[in-house]
Structure formats: structure tokens, C-alpha cells
């Protein structure tokens, strides 16, 4: 009788424990599913990091290309200004000065001719004075024109052309600085990309290990 009672108690105990045992298996399945999801996310994060690095490197390399092009153009512009524009402006200024000097010389020669011509006594004094005054006024105006032309040429050479050259030199300097920054940006992008990839790869390896360990425990 006692033996029969023990059997009944064991059967009841087994029935009571059955739901608990059944609950353990789904719990392991849920853990595996979560780990598989973590693994999938880690793989996606790695792919995203790889794509992000590729884009960053492409952008940085394009920046270097653009900066190199900008520097080359700035140097060409400066060289053209120094070797072509400045000599041409100086030649034009010299030509303008020569023309002004020529007009002054012509005015002086004409005045001298008038002095020689109207020096004779047969011309009326009023006529002589009028003609010579006009001649002298022409010489004075030519002298003033020459002086203004000289001042204008000096100002153009010292200020306008000098300022333009300084601007182009500064442009070259800025282009060189920009290129250096772009080159540094490549190194920075490469380093940042490696860090992100290492983190993503490490996270992926951990996810793989956790899933393998959980699968081994489940078996």
C-alpha cells in the first residue's frame, strides 16, 4: 500500500514538473533568436561601416583632386600676371608716357617757331602777344599732362598692379593651405574608418561567439 502511494506521488510530481521543463526549452529558443538578431545587426553595422569608410575616402580623395586643381590654377594665374600682364601694363604705360612727352616736345617746338615768326616788328604787338600766349598755354598743358601721366603710371605700378599681385600670391597661399587640409583629411578619414571597422568587426565576432556558445549549451 505504501509502495502504491509512493508511485502516485512520483507520478503527480512528474506531472507538476512537466510544464516547468517545457518552459525551459522555449526560453533557450528565445535566447538563440535574440542572439541571431544581434548577429544580423552586427553584420549590418559592419557593412554600414565599410560603406561609410568608402564614401568618406572617396569624398576626401575628391577634395584633394579639387584642391590640387585649384592650386594649379592659382599658380598659373599668378605666373601669367607676373610674366605677361605686368610687363604688358608697363609697356603700355611707357608708350603713353612717350606720347605725352612727344606732345610736350611738339608744343615747345611750335612755341619756338611762333617766337621766331612773330619776333619781327612788322606784326602788331597785340597779335604777337595773343599767338605767343596760346603757344605758352599749350606747352604748360602738355607739361601738366606729362606730370599727371607719370603720377598715374607710378600709382598703377605701385598700387594697382602691386595689389593685384599680392592678391594672387595670397590666393596661391590659400590654395596650398587648402590642399594640405585635404591631404590631412584623407589620413583622418582613413583612421576614423579603421576605428569604426575594428569596432564593428569586434562586435560581430562577439555576437558570433555568443551565438555559438548558446547553441552548444542548448545541445
| 216: confidence class by pLDDT, cuts 50, 70, 90 | confident
Nearest by Cα to 164 from 71, 85, 67: 85
Cell 604777337 locates to 128
CB atoms within 10 A of CB 61: 15
- Scanning 81-124, the segments in alpha helix (DSSP H) are 86-117
Judged against a pLDDT cut of 50, whether residue 10 lies above it is answered with: no
**Residues 56-84: tens digit of each pLDDT:** 889 889 999 999 999 999 999 999 999 99
Query: What is the percent of the chain with per-residue pLDDT over 90, rounded to a whole number?
Result: 20
- How many domains would you assign to the chain? 1
DSSP state, residue 219: -
- In terms of residue numbers, what domain contains 49? 2-218
Q: Tell me if residue 122 falls in helix, strand or coil.
A: coil
Report the distance separating Cα 5 and Cα 9, nearest Å: 6
Separation of CA 93 from chain center:
37
Who has greater pLDDT, 34 or 14? Answer: 34
pLDDT digits (tens, 9 = 90+) for 113-145: 777 776 665 556 666 677 777 878 878 888 888
Q: What is the pLDDT of residue 21?
A: 44
pLDDT given for residue 126 in this prediction: 64
Please tell me the predicted confidence (pLDDT) of residue 123. 58
pTM of the model: 0.59
Amino acid at each position: 500500500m505504501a509502495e502504491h502511494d509512493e508511485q502516485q506521488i512520483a507520478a503527480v510530481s512528474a506531472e507538476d514538473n512537466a510544464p516547468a521543463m517545457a518552459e525551459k526549452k522555449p526560453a533557450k529558443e528565445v535566447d538563440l533568436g535574440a542572439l541571431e538578431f544581434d548577429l544580423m545587426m552586427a553584420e549590418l553595422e559592419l557593412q554600414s561601416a565599410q560603406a561609410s569608410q568608402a564614401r568618406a575616402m572617396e569624398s576626401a580623395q575628391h577634395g584633394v583632386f579639387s584642391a590640387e586643381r585649384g592650386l594649379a590654377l592659382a599658380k598659373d594665374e599668378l605666373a601669367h600676371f607676373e610674366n605677361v600682364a605686368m610687363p604688358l601694363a608697363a609697356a603700355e604705360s611707357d608708350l603713353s608716357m612717350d606720347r605725352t612727352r612727344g606732345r610736350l616736345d611738339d608744343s615747345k617746338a611750335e612755341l619756338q617757331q611762333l617766337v621766331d615768326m612773330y619776333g619781327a616788328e612788322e606784326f602788331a604787338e597785340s597779335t604777337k602777344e595773343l599767338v605767343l600766349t596760346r603757344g605758352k598755354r599749350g606747352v604748360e598743358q602738355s607739361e601738366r599732362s606729362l606730370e599727371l601721366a607719370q603720377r598715374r603710371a607710378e600709382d598703377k605700378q605701385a598700387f594697382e598692379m602691386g595689389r593685384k599681385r599680392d592678391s594672387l600670391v595670397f590666393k596661391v597661399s590659400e590654395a596650398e593651405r587648402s590642399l594640405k587640409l585635404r591631404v590631412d583629411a584623407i589620413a583622418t578619414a582613413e583612421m576614423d574608418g579603421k576605428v569604426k571597422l575594428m569596432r564593428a568587426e569586434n562586435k560581430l565576432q562577439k555576437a558570433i561567439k555568443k551565438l555559438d556558445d548558446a547553441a552548444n549549451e542548448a545541445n
